[in-house]
Each structure stands twice: as C-alpha cells, then as structure tokens.
Amino acid sequence: MPLLRKILIANRGEIAVRIMRTCRAMGIETVAVYSDFDANALHVRLADQAVPIGGAAARDSYLNIDALLAAARRCGADAIHPGYGFLAENAGFAAACENADIVFIGPSSKVIQAMGSKAGARRIAQDAGVPVVPALPENDSPASGFPWLIKASAGGGGRGMRIVRSAHEFQESLSAARGEAERAFGDGTLLIEQYIEGARHVEVQIFGDHHGNVMHLFERDCSIQRRHQKIIEESPSPAVTPEIRNRMTEAALALGRAIGYTNAGTVEFLLVPTGEFYFIEVNTRIQVEHPVTEMITGFDLIRLQIEIAQGKLLPSSRPQQNGHAIEVRLYAEDPDHDFLPSTGTLHVWHPPIGIEGLRVDSGVEAGTEIGVYYDPLLAKVIAHAPDRNTAIAKLVYALKNFAAQGVINNRQFLIDVLEHDEFRAGRAHTGFCLPPQTYKSNDAALATVMRTYIERTEHGQRKVLPSIPLRYRNNPYRSPAMKLEINGREYDASPDDQTIEIVQTSPGQAVALIDGIRRHFQIHQHGDEYYVRSSFAQRKVVRMPRYPRRTGAGQHETANSPMPGQILRILVAAGQHVKPGDQLVVLEAMKMEQTIKTTIDGVVKAILVKLGDIVAPGQMLVEIESTENANEHPSSSAASN
C-alpha cells in the first residue's frame, strides 16, 4: 500500500482536531470539510486545507457521501479518515472510497457490513463461541421476562433504544424505537434483548492488520451513562479481575479473527456481577474514549490506524497496562432537566493547564456557537495517574478549575459523580443514578460581590469626580436596589453583608474577603450577563432591568419547547380534540428526540410552528383551548413534555 501524504477528515469538532494532531506529527497534510454552520470552526482553521460540503444539517453535509468524495478528489487526498459518528460505520461509504481508489482508514466495507447489523454480529459471535445476551425474534411481543431492551440493529449512541418494563408499554416503545432507528440510520430493524440489571458495560479495544494479525489493548469500563450514552470511561475496569480480563480479551480476539478484522475496533460486553459476560456489539471505528487506552498503553491509536492503512504490521511488542486513566465527557446539556441539550455562544473557555498527566481534547474555543445540528460534546478531559484514587482526585481538581460558560453544561454533574461513594468504591454500573444533590449556596455572597464590582466599573466609566464617593445621591430618595439573577433566583444585592469585604476590583477581576478567606473572581461581561468564575463559584449573573418587562398574557397558554431543537414531526392539526398524554410535536436536537405531550382535555387552536423550524427553549409550539374551561376562559390552555 502507498505512503499516505494527504488525508481528508470526514468529520468535525474534537475528533477532527485530534486526527490532525497525529497527522501533523507524521508529516501528513490534512484536509478539513465543513458545513455552512461550521465555516468558522476551529477544525477548519487548523487544517492545511478546507473544503465546504453543504448546508448546516448533517444530512446535507457530513452525511453526504458524494460531497465528501468530490472534496477528496478536488484536493487530491490519498485517504479519508471518518473519525467516529456520521459515516464512520457506514459500509456504503467505505465501499465508495474503495471504488474511488481512496484509502478508507478503518475496517473494510465487508467487515463493516457484517458488524453493522447487531443481529448479524450476534450470529457471528455465537458461531465464534462468544456468549451473547438472550434475545427474542423481532416480531415477538413478550408477555413475561421483563425488563427487555429494544435497540436499533443498525446503529449506536443510544439512538433507537428503549427499556421496556411491562407488557402494556411494549408496542408503543417498539414503534418509537423503530421510527427513531429509521430516521437515524435509514434502517428500522430492531433487536430485542433481555435487559440485565446491575451489569457493567465493558469493552475491549482491538486492532487488526492486513497480514492476518489481531491484538487487543485491554479493556475500558463505560458503565456511567445517561440516555444510554457514555459520559465517563476508565481503564482498567475496577470490576475486571485478571481472570475475567483473560477470558474477555480472548473472546474479543476470537471474534476479530473470525471476521478477518482490520484497523481499529471495539468489542463491547455486558459484565454481570457473577463474573459472566455477554457480547453486545462491535463498533467498527475509533471510539470517543480512545484516549483512555492511549494513556495507559502509550500507543497513539490514530497513528496505529494510519500505519495499518499503509500496510504496516502491528507492533511486535505486546502492550502493557500502566497506571489508571479516567475520561469524562463535558457536554452542552442541562443535568437538572433530564440532560436536555443546551445551545448558545461559548463566551468563556479556559481549560485547566499545568496539571501533569491531564489531557483535554476539544474542538471548541471562546466564541464558538453551539447549535442544534450536531452532538453537544464540548471536550473530553482525561486524567492519568499511578492508581485510580489519584486519577479521580486529579480529574475532580481539573474540572473544578475548568471554565466553560455561556451554555449550560454538565461540569458540576461530572464532579458529583466522581466524588460519589459508589463510583469511588468502583461499584457503579449501567443503572447508576446520581441522587439529587444538596449544595450550600454561595449565590447571595456572590451577588454582593457582583453589585460592588458593577457599581465600581460603571463609576469609573462615567468619569465621576474622584472626590464623590460610591453610591452618593444628591436627592433624599433611596436609590432603586440593583437586582441580580443567579441560578434562576433574584437577589436584591445589598452591600451591607459584614462578612464580605471587597478588597479590589479592576476590569474583569475582583478580589473579596469572604468569611475570612481571600477569593479571586474572573469576570467576563456580555451585555447584562456576567460570567463569573473562581474556586468559590462558577455562575452566570444577570443584571435585571430596573423596571419589570411586560409579559404577554398568553405565554403560559401554549405547549412550549423545553429545549432548542428542530421540528421533526407535527402530530396534531388545528381543530383536533386532544386529551392528557396525547403527542403534539416531536423535536430533535443533538442526536436526541423529545416528544411534547398535552396535559389537558382540549381543542388545538393553532399550530405555531412548521416542519423543519429551528426553535428556542420556551418558544410557543401549539396552542390548546381547554374543553372544561372554554366557556369561562376562552383561551385557557396548558401543555408540557
């Protein structure tokens, strides 16, 4: 196979930047592709060349095979690296690259095809002697044996997946999973497996070359998930003994040899408390969590992918496990509201620096716009240490010093999980659910600090005579109190708290003595919003208008969007009668669907959106007139998700 000189990266964001880093070290030119939305993205600027490939939506850009191949031909790329997601596991894309004489950096289209169907992969695993989870034929409706797991045969990432715990909800879950699978993967085929309570999600990283060799690079534990998607991964798994590791890695290698595996792949298992494990699927690509394996083995997995694509043999030296590595995924999402995605501008972005053994992989920067079209991943933060406890401590410290403001994110949630006793003890499994957290609020003190900061800043901007003291008024009436909103709560920011002494303020900074402890605050202003960060707090502080704005009377009389997203389906029409639980609208954002349902008996008065519309959180979608109160209150209505 020829030496690769130029690689087109058919992806975006963090993984595109990650691949570029290795290509640069190998002396290989890179070509970025970008949608209309990503024209000014970081991965576009870091590449040696960049080619536009279409509109903002993924189907018009990063999923457009013809556009990607045309871009590769236009710039003279020798190869295409698909990253993960999008077309990374698309056998048709791999075959199109092969037919166009462009090297596809991944398994062959034949292998992707064989493993692309979870049902087909299951049969191959059984033939190779690998244990599989008990399952039902797709057309069967179980009457017992609950819970069952319905999942898309053709995809991953939690799309098309439902846990069913009773017979009466089975058909609705089956239809919902099939529809989601068809839209996400173009294939509505489903697999129905026994859902195993208390299991851990453990996967084995494998590599195969073009000379018949297959090796493993140990396991990763990916049990901490939300919406069936991983958010924390680590290696070694705290639940895997040397004996289990030997059995599990041998099973993964047996499957790899059975299908003639080449390049990077991951064999995923469920590990039950008894020590038995069951095959789930094979991901025929590099994984989001690959840095964990890189940290404990010292191997650059992207380099290994490229070298295999060039025809090189696998390394002759057997990899060794060195220490412990943990990765967390920092997402633009709201943990307090069912992890709904968050959009907006990333006004503040300061990853932690100077921490030995810490790695941050990201494709964003200050000023990046987080939209509804793609995955909400902001960054991966990975800590490596000699032992697990030290790795956890290092990662917690790093997250506490990671400033990511402008969009709601899961930073504090990740800290809470890492500090939870169940996680620290290594007992957390796929059913782990973090209980509601009770925090000591520092917001009142923060409001006092911010009032003084704002007043001093404005005092200086107005060029007031230095002899006039702060808050001086030349009339007998008291100045209207400054009101600040923090975490949805309004504060009358009084300067009279005797436990707080403002030591110093300057543009973008404040120093305060709070309860006898000196604390430094970094402040970024954006209009009436102040993004404040310190070891004391990391908050958005909003300066409220002096006089309240008028609110439309009908604001609470409609079904409102709970998240930013795109209107995927409208399920009702004007004049239609609805009852509690009836579905109104389906939204899609960042690989997730949300169905809006009514909570009342009524009649649909108006549909306020149309298919394809991009909507903001709180935006009115459907107006419903209550049947019960129609005579007394003609416009009374209510709805929720």
Which amino acids are annotated catalytic? 285
366 alpha carbon, distance to own chain's centre: 18
Residue in the structure block whose two tokens are 């791999």: 94
Q: Return phi, psi of residue 49, to 5°.
A: -140, 160
Asked if 591 and 623 touch (Cβ cutoff 8 Å), the reply is: no
213, 314 contact by CB (below 8 A): yes
Q: Round to whole Å and give the CA distance between 304 and 263.
A: 8
Question: Which amino acid does the sequence have at 574?
Answer: A
* Cis preceding-peptide flag for 236 (omega within 30 of 0): yes
The residues that bridge with 631 in the sheet, in sequence order, are none
List CB contacts of 338: < 8 A, sequence separation 6 or more. Answer: none
Map residue 505 onto helix, strand or coil.
Answer: strand
DSSP state letters, 579-608: -TT-EEEEEEETTEEEEEEE-S-EEEEEE-
SS (H, E, C) 88-134: CCCHHHHHHHHHCCCEECCCCHHHHHHHHCHHHHHHHHHHCCCCECC
CA pseudo-torsion sign 340, 447, 417, 164: negative
**Helix (H), strand (E), coil (C) string for 465-495:** CCCCCCCCCCCCCCCCCCEEEECCEEEECCC
**The two structure tokens encoding residue 582:** 């009836």
Whole-angstrom Cα Rg for the chain = 27
- Output the six-digit token pair for 534: 């310190």
Token couple for 7: 């690689």
List Cβ neighbours of 391 (8 Å cut-off, separation of 6 or more).
234, 323, 324, 325, 326, 357, 383, 384, 385
Structure-derived torsion over alpha carbons of residues 488, 490, 496, 502, reported in degrees to the nearest 10: 40
34-72 burial, b at 16+ Cβ within 10 Å, e below that, comes to bbebbeebbbbebbebbbbbbebbbeebbbbeebbbebb
- Distance, in Å, from the CA atom of 264 to the CA atom of 120, rounded to the nearest integer, reads 20
Residue 371: Cβ within 10 Å count: 20
Using DSSP, state whether 629 is helix, strand or coil.
coil
Type and span of the H or E element at 176: helix 170-185
Are residues 572 and 547 in contact, defined by beta-carbon separation less than 8 angstroms?
no
Q: 558: helix, coil or strand?
A: strand
d(CA 293, CA 303): 13
SS (H, E, C) 236-301: CCCCCCHHHHHHHHHHHHHHHHHCCCCEEEEEEEEECCCCCEEEEEEECCCCCCHHHHHHHHCCCH
